[in-house]
Amino acid sequence: MAKKNPKRIGVAIIGAGRVGLFRGEVAARHPQVDFIGLAEKRTDRAELVRDRIGADFVTADFHELLARPEVTAAIISTDEHLHVAPVLAAAERGLPMLIEKPLATELAESERVLAAIRKSGVDAVVGYTQRFRRRWLAAKEKVRTGQLGDVTLVASRAFMNRLVALDNYKRASDPSQISPMVISGTHALDIVMWLMEAKRPVEIYARSVDKALGPLVRGIDATAGLITFEDGSLYTACISWALPVAWPGAVYSLEVGITGTEGVLTIDDTHRDIVLATSKAQGEGYAPDETRRVDFLGSYPPGDIALGELRGPMREETEQWLNRVSLGLPTQHATAAEAHHRLMLTKAFDLSARLKRAIPLPIEAGESSRESLRKAG
């Protein structure tokens, strides 16, 4: 039951990139938010976001921000490989958190973060934004209520052009921790595991290819694999983030098929229903290459800018998190434990592809480390 007297919220936003800005704009409109602090090392970016969201306090040091007495909750929106330190600091202060996925890019660090969150007892959720799109909520409800009977087979296929991959490899402090499964395939993986949450995965078998990104950034192009569940159910997943830059999807193009003993459900999330072709550069959304002139609108996971505001799943996700903090309302956010589980599975995909054999689940942190991979290779 929701609390009758809503709490005020003082939000600390750590990381003022695209996501930090989007979430900050939503927070600025929430009736219970009366303080917004911003921690961002890039002065020009900090000033831009400060002006856009009306931040009350700006610093380059997230420790200084988290020490402010006005702060009662934190949004961790730094680059993927920089989540650990601010999450640990916010947990130590006992702040509820909305953390961008993943908890960490290394499994051992993710375990460390999860342990700290559990020890502190804070309510920490992770930004698997797809859970807030209505088509996945509809699919969740049909599976949950038994409309398909016992789910026996799920298949997913995600296609992305290489701009996200190149951007991630460029920003990563350790490119060996970057892969299509860890950074992007995890979204489809989370949706499927959320749909099949009553089933326990016991084995992964996968293969990867690196013929396009390998010569450019020593990266992985694509990974395909099979998860076997304890009851014999199967999930086959394919993710490629090495398609040519000309591929119209701004980011994500996904198809999922769910087969059960009593029915089947197919979800087309490729966004080919709204196609934009223009001679002008696009000013909003994910556009690291301004020469691209064709897009599947809606394929940028946070949503789209319309009438000056972000519309779509990230807005709903952020609003629901603020209501969760202020009113105690239940939400469908991924928990920190679920996020760690997803990272473990993506690391197992990569490990199986590297070793070219099936991997029993779950795996431990040491099994996915670079050292163990070198020894196996």
Lowest-confidence region among 278-292, 331-345, 360-374 = 278-292
CB neighbourhood size of 178 (10 A) = 22
pLDDT at 167 over 90: no
Burial class (CB in 10 A: 0-12, 13-18, 19+), 171: middle
Query: What's the confidence (pLDDT) of residue 283?
Result: 58
Q: Give the whole-angstrom CA distance, residue 343 versus residue 376.
A: 21
Token pair 């473990």 in the structure block, residue: 344
Paired sense of beta strands 9-14 and 359-360, if any: unpaired
Tell me how far apart the alpha carbons of residues 53 and 65 are, in angstroms, rounded to a whole number.
16
Distance CA 73, CA 97 (A): 6
C-beta of residue 65 within 8 angstroms of C-beta of residue 59: yes
Interval 272-288 mean pLDDT? 75
**Calpha distance 179→371 (Å, rounded):** 17
Quick one: pLDDT band at residue 282, thresholds 50, 70, 90? low
Strands (E) in 33-137, as ranges, are 33-39, 57-59, 73-76, 97-100, 124-127
Answer yes or no: is pLDDT of 372 > 50: no
Beta-carbon-side half-sphere exposure of residue 331 (alpha carbons within 13 Å): 27
Phi, psi of 164 (to 5 degrees): -65, -40
Q: pLDDT class for 139, splitting at 50, 70, 90?
A: very high
How far apart CA 89 and CA 145 sit, in angstroms, is 40
pLDDT at 74: 98
**Chain centroid, CA 32 distance in Å:** 26
- 233: nearest Cα among 256, 260, 255: 260
Distance of alpha carbon 97 from alpha carbon 158, whole angstroms: 29
- CATH class of the region 132-301: alpha beta
Residue 289, pLDDT score: 64
**Mean pLDDT over the full length of the chain:** 92
Residue type, 294: V
The pTM score is 0.92
pLDDT tens for each residue of 80-136: 889 999 999 999 999 999 999 999 989 999 999 999 999 999 999 999 999 999 999
Q: Which CATH number fits domain 9-130+319-333: 3.40.30.10, 3.90.45.10, 3.60.15.10, 3.40.50.720?
A: 3.40.50.720
- 55-73 per-residue burial string, b: 16 or more CB within 10 A, e: under 16: bebbbeebeebbeeebbbb
Preceding omega of 102 cis (within 30 degrees of 0): yes
Please report which confidence band the pLDDT of residue 3 belongs to, taking 50, 70 and 90 as the band edges. low
**For residues 346 and 349, what is the distance between their CA atoms, to the nearest angstrom?**
5
Phi, psi angle pair for 74, to nearest 5°: -135, 140
Most confident listed range (5-9, 170-174, 315-319):
315-319
Average pLDDT for 11-23:
96
List the single range of 14-18, 72-76, 194-198, 365-369 with lowest mean pLDDT: 365-369
Closest listed residue to residue 204, CA positions, set 191, 218, 189, 219: 189
Structure tokens at 67: 């020490």
Place 16 in a pLDDT band, splitting at 50, 70 and 90.
Answer: very high
Q: Where in the chain is the domain with CATH 3.30.360.10?
A: 132-301
Q: What residue spans in the chain does CATH classification 3.40.50.720 cover?
A: 9-130+319-333
Give 355's contacts (C-beta < 8 A, 6+ positions apart): 373, 376
Q: What is the pLDDT of residues 327-350, one digit of tens each?
A: 999 999 999 999 999 999 999 999
DSSP structural state of residue 8: P
Q: 300: pLDDT confidence band, cut at 50, 70 and 90?
A: confident
pLDDT in tens, 210-227: 999 999 998 999 999 999
Q: Helix or strand or coil: residue 197?
A: coil
pLDDT for 376 = 44
DSSP letter (8 states) at residue 363: P
The percentage of residues in the chain with a pLDDT greater than 70, rounded to a whole number, is 94
Longest CA–CA separation in the chain, Å: 59
